[in-house]
Amino acid sequence: MICIALGAVLLISEVLASAFIRHHVEQMITLIGPDGASLRPDLERGVRRTLNAALLASLPLALVVAALTALYSARRVVRSVELLRDGSHAIATGDYERRLPEEGRDELTDVARHFNRMAAALQQVEQGRVELISNVAHELRTPLSALRGYAEAMKDGVMPPEAVSGAILRETAAMERLAQDLSVVSRVEAGAVELHSSDFAPAALIADAFERFAGAYEDRGVTLSASPEAALPQVTADFERASQILANLLGNALRHTPRGGQVTLGAEHRGGDMLFTVADTGSGIAPEHLERIFERFYRVDPARTRGDGSGVGLTIARGLATRMGGSLTVSSSSQGSVFTLKLLVAPPH
């Protein structure tokens, strides 16, 4: 390839040089006068010979430079391929911390950069998988221990079967709820949840949530009130999924609001969005925990039991809100917490 390129350079220079030489020879003859016409052949041959000699003299240097450039490029390509091979092997064997050096600004650097992004994503997935298994094992340990205790008590005659049966049913129900919630959260995170969007009035969603939880709040001695704005426009969302989000927020507020406290369910129109709020008068959430409470199984207080919660409710709620084009956020202070569900306002018909 190098020889072909050099041959092409010689050919092109010969073609272009001929016109150049003739033009300048004619100028010289004009300056010298009629006697200069006899010098034309010698001048043309001399200039052409000098040009060819210069090109041929530069040939060894060009070959050396081209060979060194090709060698450098080849070694860099081979090194990049070897690094990519070793990195791929490391990823395949479970070493998700392996990264490739990102040196330069060419295509090989782009390959290394994309490889590192892939490795980082795989590492995050693997960490999530390990954490999920650990959290599920932790969540199942309590009901399984309880079931074992009840079985041993029944076997030893400490508790009669009719007394144990109710406790066993209660623990198995908790395990079933956990399994169902894990199934839902996996589908939410995979974007596989079916949505059936429609236009509905915010007051209908508020009334549905209030009716479902009024009795539970009364039993716990916590005041539940609703204060939506008047004349609110309709929203576009999946009514059942939006109701599921509010149910999760109201259940969460009930668990963390002491007897005598208050939870307020509100709705207001702001810009092109509808904001549904659940505000409680609990102890509040520390700033370092505000975003992490939406993670699966995250505990603000690791020593605290979950009660009736599965630990993935807020994860499901935020995922559903995002899938419907909205969001779920939280703010908190020492006077309590406010969860805000944002849904889209229905376009005018």
Q: How far apart are CA 76 and CA 210, in angstroms?
A: 67
| pLDDT, tens digit, 9 for 90 and up, residues 62-92 | 777 777 877 777 777 777 788 888 888 888 8
Structure tokens at 252: 């969460």
Over its C-alpha atoms, the chain yields an Rg (Å, rounded) of: 39
The answer to which of 35-39, 63-67, 242-246 has the lowest mean pLDDT is 35-39
Name the percent of the chain lying above pLDDT 90: 27
Residue 206 pLDDT class (50, 70, 90 cuts) = very high
Element of type H or E holding 155: helix 107-156
- What pLDDT was estimated at residue 264? 95
Q: How far apart are CA 236 and CA 325, in angstroms?
A: 9
Contact 28, 40 (CB under 8 A): no
Q: How far apart are CA 322 and CA 326, in angstroms?
A: 5
> Is pLDDT at 309 greater than 80 in this prediction?
no
Q: How far is CA 44 from CA 56, 61, 227, in A?
A: 18, 27, 101
Q: What is the DSSP string of 11-41?
A: HHHHHHHHHHHHHHHHHHHHHH-GGGGGGHH
| pLDDT, tens digit, 9 for 90 and up, residues 44-68 | 666 667 766 766 676 677 777 777 8
Q: Phi and psi for 93 in degrees, rounded to 5? A: -95, 5
Q: How far apart are CA 25 and CA 35, in angstroms?
A: 13
| pLDDT, tens digit, 9 for 90 and up, residues 285-302 | 888 888 788 887 776 655
Contacts of 315 (CB under 8 A, 6+ apart): 185, 188, 189, 294, 295, 296
- What pLDDT was estimated at residue 175? 80
Residue 121 pLDDT class (50, 70, 90 cuts) = confident
Residue 95 pLDDT class (50, 70, 90 cuts) = confident
Contacts of 222 (CB under 8 A, 6+ apart): 254, 257, 258, 259, 260, 261, 262, 263
Contact 23, 16 (CB under 8 A): no
What's 236's DSSP letter?
A: E
Query: What's the average model confidence in pLDDT over 176-188?
Result: 78
Which neighbouring-strand residues pair with 269?
A: 274
Pick the residue with more confidence: 35 or 262? 262
Q: How far apart are CA 178 and CA 139, in angstroms?
A: 8
Residue 19 pLDDT class (50, 70, 90 cuts) = low
Tally of CB atoms within 10 A around 312: 26
- What pLDDT was estimated at residue 294? 85
Structure tokens at 344: 């889209």
| pLDDT, tens digit, 9 for 90 and up, residues 219-241 | 999 999 998 888 899 999 999 99
- What pLDDT was estimated at residue 117? 87
Q: How far apart are CA 245 and CA 318, in angstroms?
A: 8
Contacts of 47 (CB under 8 A, 6+ apart): 17, 21, 25
The answer to which of 28-37, 59-68, 260-269 has the lowest mean pLDDT is 28-37
- What pLDDT was estimated at residue 122? 83
Residue 17 pLDDT class (50, 70, 90 cuts) = low
Give the 3-state secondary structure of residue 226: strand
Structure tokens at 166: 């109710």
Structure tokens at 320: 């559903």
The contacts found for 19-22 with CB under 8 angstroms, 24 or more apart, are: 21/47, 21/48
Q: What is the mean pLDDT of the chain?
A: 80
